[in-house]
Structure 1
Amino acid sequence: MASTQISELLRFLSKDAKVPLAMAMAKTPELQKANLTNAEQISKTEIQSLEDIFKDKKVAKQVLNASKRACKKRAASPNTTPSSPKRPKSIDIRTETKPFEIEYSLRLLMPPADENKLQQIKVVTNRAPLVLAFAVGVLKYTMPEQPISSRLSLAQAVVSANSRAKAVSLGIENGQSAEEEGWGEGHPVLKVLGREIRVLKRWDYDPWHDKPSNISGAKKEVPSTIDFEDFLGRANVGSTETMPPLWGVDLEALRGSRGNSSTEAPRTNSTLPIFRPESARSYLLKAVTKSPESGSSSKPKRGAALQQESEEHVGYLLRAIDMVCSSWASDSDKEELDRRAWACYLRVRPDVQSGTRGWGEKGQVCLSDILKLRKGQ
């Protein structure tokens, strides 16, 4: 497929179908193989074909409906005025659920540090989910006070910034970003994996609030030996640099919700669009799969069994990253550890490991290669 066709397909998926850019980039090769390279071809296909590619009925239906709308617009008169885009959902920073329950539901389980087993594990993914995994992993050490909801939100903000930078380099995006137009003005800036992101402080949110005193009685599914700091963050770290829990602010969604023609960006807003932690977690679990080379049964897994296998292999990946970060954390400051984590990602990203040049194609990641990046290895 010519580069112009790739750009047009990505533009349709990200702009018209509202598919996250990282997902659009990952699914483009599969759409190519199915000969679905433009909106017209997609509009004529069966919904099941799209479900097989996107692995999500809602997204598949979203893409199919967008392709039909795009075809209708082309057939309509040039003077037809397109309808205004829907306002993206904003969230209230005041949670409606108990903080402990939120954090517990978002936790990412990691297996015990069995190095011999990890050395044999291989996963298949592409670059965006791997960036997400490294960001979540390093934030545990650079910002230990942050709960898992904040780590996931901040990590997704990094992925979004990287994806947009890649889109600009490919000519898919043009013009100034929301950040360059000033939509982030007034919000603090953090650097994660070398990427600056805007954040929102959650002053009224305490992840430790309402933690049951008797776990076995309050929540039977919670192990008595659970490490609360692993998903609630370290309470009272005692540093003057300690921040309250944070959200990563979605500046592009903020600009879209106010209209690109606005002449002035708002400095404050109590209901800002943020990168949802549950979406980031779901994306990670769907985008990291077991490599066929790691051994598999003849009968493919489906449903709950497939989900469990995915969670296990995401856990293996996070454990390997955690072992690397912890090996450098004791004698590295936060900035240095952040730089090392990014350098580690660059060494093991799928296109390097597989030897391919395709930016949207999945590749194999050997956890043994990640473990080699520990201090002293």
Structure 2
Amino acid sequence: MSKPDLNDLLREHAPNALAALMRRYDDFDACEDAVQEALLAAAVQWPVESVPDNPTGWLTMVASRRWTDLWRNDVARRRREEVAASLAVVDPEPPPSEDDTLTLLFLCCHPALNRSSQVALTLRAVGGLTTAEIARALLVSDTTVGQRISRAKQRIKASGAKFRMPSPEDRPARLAAVMEVLYFIFNEGYTASSGPALNRVDLTAEAIRLTRQLHDRLPADGEVAGLLALMLLTDARRPARVGPDGALIPLAEQDRGRWDGDAIAEGVALLTRTLATSSLGPYQLQAAIAAVHDEARRAEDTDWREILGLYSLLDNLAPGPMVTLNRIVAIAMVHGPRVGLDHLDAAVADPALAGHYRTHAVRAHLLDLLGDAEAAREHYELAARQTLSIPEQEYLFARAARIAGPDTT
């Protein structure tokens, strides 16, 4: 088996093995360490001895033995060697539990953790990514990721959280946190907040994979379905977002023939089903907006009035700075750039928007549409200096240079 295939296999079965140990021992830190050692053993043994018939059972058994070793080495503190040994006799083919991945997601998104810790722990425990892979994806050091994961496990233990589904009263809030983390992971992959690449496909792919699993376990939840549809409809445009040189290509200038038609069809079908059977939520609205863009054969065919109506609904249901900016763009496309600028002038009273680079970029775009080249160039340059994304920075400087025209000095 090739190395990529082996890595995919380990990533697929690691969360199930971790869940099996958590059901028995309910100690996130020790169980996760034990599973990591089992994964290392599998990476060495399986290419030589072949993949076992039951990979999850093999990983669970090896990890359970390692957990027992760790327990026995801690005799002075625990003094429960015999109990641990008895617990370690496990069925090599543990019965599957359809809620295991969902329970892990809830645990990784525990409210005791901050967002960066939730993301790192989710990618590690549920996504099966190594510390090095997470570090590369998030553009931080291995040490930083290791510290985040270690602190997260310590906080979960200190909180007294158990490996079980939250109560019916707590579940809606915890599910909302899970979806926020998955969407954060997707967005960081779709438009990286910093670094040389616009996209980080490993993150978008992982977010979609995990959201599929969440939808499989909660098929009747309209917002989970909406989130999956939103990711599919957005990621469908990824092949056309960058040129051969890695330069950013804005939506209006993309070759729509390069969009992923299968992903668009799946996203639209998923959204259509959920809109007909569940109450409207923010992720469904965002997916509907993405669908309007994706179904326009040309940029000039985009139904901006429908998009404006959807953003107005979203602004009432889940207001936020980026919703405000996107709605202003839709207002400008429907009612003209001057009206859009008037709304933008009012919106910058919000401190979250006042100095944001996207605010300068929107203002530059509207000024450009209005014909005020000098002011547009100034704001494109302001936006470019503030973003940490190199492709976005290069695009914004290029827009400023195009407005300025050839050097006549």
Q: Do both proteins adopt the same fold according to a TM-score greater than 0.5, normalized to the shorter chain?
A: no
TM-score (norm 1): 0.26
Rg larger in structure: 2
TM-score (norm 2): 0.25
More strand as a share of residues: 1
Structure with bigger RCO (C-alpha 8 Å, 6+ apart):
1
More helix as a share of residues: 2
